[in-house]
Amino acid sequence: MDGCIFCKIGKREIESMVVYEDKDVIVFRDINPQAPVHILVIPKKHVAGLNDITADDQMLAGKLILVAQKVARQEKISESGYRLVINSGEDAGQAVQHLHVHLLGGRRMKWPPG
Ligand code: AMP
């Protein structure tokens, strides 16, 4: 989608620290990390957020989780633990209107989240 920063990252029009890529997804380090490991898993296709996922996206949505699992292993945080977060809408603090899964790890997390 025109003007979407994550679409541009997906098309490599904007530089990012990519840690994994395939035909459907791209995975890169968050520019403002909130944990020693803070990585974003996004579909290359523009989906604005959780509310915009349809039944056609079922495989893609599942793939985001499987890729996060693979990258967690790659980052060596599988055993110590990690958290996946998808912010949806204003109350959750969603800032970028392109679906993304935060993969956070490398430190002890608190619950409930702030
Ligand atoms: P959210 O608040 O869930 O929408 O998260 C958006 C995330 O995208 C934030 O953690 C930002 O730090 C991150 N972010 C924004 N622009 C970039 C960028 N160009 N490269 C990497 N991460 C970014």
In a domain? residue 112: no
How many separate domains does the chain show?
1
In a domain? residue 111: no
Kindly write down the DSSP assignment for every residue of 26-57, as one continuous string: EEEE-SS-SSSEEEEEEESS---SGGG--GGG
49-87: pLDDT as tens digits: 999 999 999 999 999 999 999 999 999 999 999 999 999
19-30: pLDDT as tens digits: 999 999 999 999
Ligand 1 proximal residues by C-beta, below 6 Å: 5, 16, 28, 30-32, 40, 87, 93-96
What's the pLDDT at 4?
Answer: 98
Whole domain around residue 97: which residue ranges? 5-105
What's the pLDDT at 114?
Answer: 84
CA of 52 to the centre of ligand 1 (A): 19
In a domain? residue 113: no
Per the annotation, the verdict on 100 as an active-site residue is yes
Q: Which residues, including other chains, have CB under 8 Å from residue 9's CB and lie 6 or more apart?
A: 16, 26, 28, 42
Q: Which of 51, 96, 101, 103 to mutate to test the pocket of ligand 1 (most atoms within 8 A of CB)?
A: 96
From the list 100, 105, 34, the residue with the least C-alpha distance to 67 is 100
User: Which CATH number belongs to the domain containing residue 25 in this structure?
Assistant: 3.30.428.10
In a domain? residue 39: yes
Q: What pTM did the predictor assign?
A: 0.98
Mean pLDDT of 85-108: 98
In a domain? residue 110: no
**pLDDT tier at 1 (50, 70, 90 boundaries)?**
confident
Mean pLDDT of 85-97: 98
In a domain? residue 82: yes
